[in-house]
Structure 1
């Protein structure tokens, strides 16, 4: 019953698992600071995600997005599972980005086929990661090369 209070405390009962409310226009940051962005296709939801990345991560996110767009003209973008995804075909992606507390994780879904291999292993035999930490320079030319290579491999259907 709406507005019903529990007990004599006068406080409204909150059901376990109920969604938290947020002010209009404010993005919720999930565990590790990952922005909660609704699923969407195209550049707009990806740019909303990047804008909501906390602190230094937003500037790095903008740079990653620019490198990917330059390396793969016409790249398709989407936000799924609160992560930007990049692909060359509708519904098929070669790369995803995710924010953690201390770093940004770039997932190459067919990373085991890249040369040289991205440095971080995964539970999945084909997936390899590249982590970017604050105040750490990364080799943009190498990243762009990985992106180009990854875009030419079969993508992951999602």
Structure 2
């Protein structure tokens, strides 16, 4: 599971700036080990030290002790084993579990598959693509999202096909 990404450098001692996908953002430091890499190549880092810094977060990976070594990690994803995450409560989902699910409205019209999600602050939004068209559907259970069947690969939404 991807929990974040290395997006920049912080200082000269090998610290890096992170983009965290966890909520709250500093929750990322509670997981260990991290597997940091690009594509299928990754290096394991245990007991990563980090903190909030201004509006972002920063971390130091053991053995990454200079600006050049840290710079080589910019763009790398931070992953953890799925088994390290707690099981979601009933009615809660990890975004990664929703990505790729087919989306259908109440009339059975296929809208495509969930490409990704993003948060607006008020609610999360499903980005649904069918190749040519993209729909943004608010992920608001009971109001717009009527059923999520992760095992069946489907999400049913109350959404007009022309919207």
Shorter-chain TM-score above 0.5: no
Structure number with higher helix proportion? 1
TM-score (norm 1): 0.30
